Amino acid sequence: MHPDQTHPAEAEVRKLMDDWVRALRARDVDRLLSFYAAGAVFFDAIGPLQMDAGTFRKNWEEFLQWFPGPVNVETRNLKIAAGESLAFAGLLVRLVGTTAEGKEEGAWMRETIGFEKAGGSWRITHEHWSMPMDMETGKAAHDLKPE
């Protein structure tokens, strides 16, 4: 393959990621979790340190309770490396939730996703969210924005 060409799997992974965003905007946790393989590894931006699918579901349900209004997702700098059956994506992502008072809250985070294709379908097998921290305060750097 020529270096300027992308593997056909990249479009399939992009579609899965777009469908994931639509599921979150629709507040459909069941649909959201349908994109993950059984035994997927989750490293969320909030605790615990590592979690199973049940805890991951609980985190998303709590997120949607904290933000009963519209939820949006903005991404930047998406890079996908895809082959026949494995793919990885790295990106900056901003989740924005609307509080009951109508206030939008959100912050930019980093996300790395591992995908595997099995039985003709791509599924997320590894997901890692993180937020940079301020070394002087030891607190998350909520105010950073992509360049």
Question: Is residue 95 included in any domain, yes or no?
Answer: yes
Tens of pLDDT, residue by residue over 7-54, are 889 999 999 999 999 999 999 999 999 999 999 998 877 777 777 888
Instruction: Look up the CATH number of the domain holding residue 68.
Output: 3.10.450.50
Structural domain boundaries enclosing 24: 8-130
**Closest by alpha carbon to 25, among 51, 64, 56, 57?**
64
Cα–Cα nearest to 113, from 79, 83, 76: 79
Long-range contacts of 90-95 (CB under 8 A, 24+ apart): 92/146, 93/129, 95/24, 95/63, 95/71
Domain count, the chain: 1
**Calpha distance 49→97 (Å, rounded):** 23
Whole-model pTM: value is: 0.88
For residue range 56-65, what is the model confidence (pLDDT) as tens digits?
899 899 999 9
Contact 110, 130 (CB under 8 A): yes
Report if residue 136 sits inside a domain: no
Please check whether residue 112 lies inside any domain of the structure. Answer: yes
146 occurs within a structural domain: no
118 within a domain of the structure (yes/no): yes
Residue 104 forms part of a structural domain: yes
Structural domain includes residue 26: yes
